[in-house]
Structure 1
């Protein structure tokens, strides 16, 4: 079943990337404050909009890069939230590095998130029940980004992907497991239970990351 779910996600991602490769450049933003952060190269498909633009030096070259977060204007259950990374060049222009559709959970509306709701689409239903909690977007920092999500009612996973110049890719360098119950009566601070450090050679490429594999 996990392989079927992965195929579903990849199909959703590929369809949007194909739509993105057109002669027209759409730059609709959800917030007017993001308009001034746009660059000519930041383009998304029609009927989508940019909901945020992050500015960090992601590849540690001393120049501020940009990440556009975007999704459909009319979201439906199972839709993907995309993150497009643009590196700043020596002449201060930007080039598109990569677009990822696996840095956050698939979208489900508030009503559908309830365990009492059964969706008609059995595949989406399987994905929905795999998620422990909803929300949570990647955090971008100097040299990379982190992805955080609950694996069960009290288990919280933090994955840190950092840019490797040799591999020209974001590689998993650190994995943390935290005890972090989400209850109103919990008074003890969150605490880390385990940490694994990976070398560039050992770490997984962000292209191979699939959140659902951690939720089995």
Structure 2
């Protein structure tokens, strides 16, 4: 026997009263369980399962369960901090060479036998752009790592991603700078 309940929305048909879940009273739940049990003498589940007391059904929660990533351990924190520190040492140690990029490239050219580097008016600007780009990437990686570590998520890969981004920015800026240098172009055309 189904009992109908009036719907709260105007103009809606009445809906059947739920038999299971949070809207059914305990008495209605017991009645529904009794109706769903196999009758005596019928072929059904194992007798031991029939002898077990019936549990009150609980309405399933249909909300999706978010996937929780594995919590970050001490090793992840140590690796993340180590990689960030290594990146900071690289940034500070290389800043002097990039800020005097004309002299640095002249030294590199002499070591590789490329001739003399001819600095342009843009050479100091490229050096500053490299240092600023590396600093911004390091700050973003450090802040992102901190947020991930604070929330207990793995973060070792964030400084690695920052290192790859730093490398790409540096190579692109060097490539643009050296593409206009006659000594470098002559060396490349000979090879």
Name the TM-score, length of structure 2 as normaliser. 0.20
Name the TM-score, length of structure 1 as normaliser. 0.18
Give the structure with the larger helix fraction.
Answer: 2
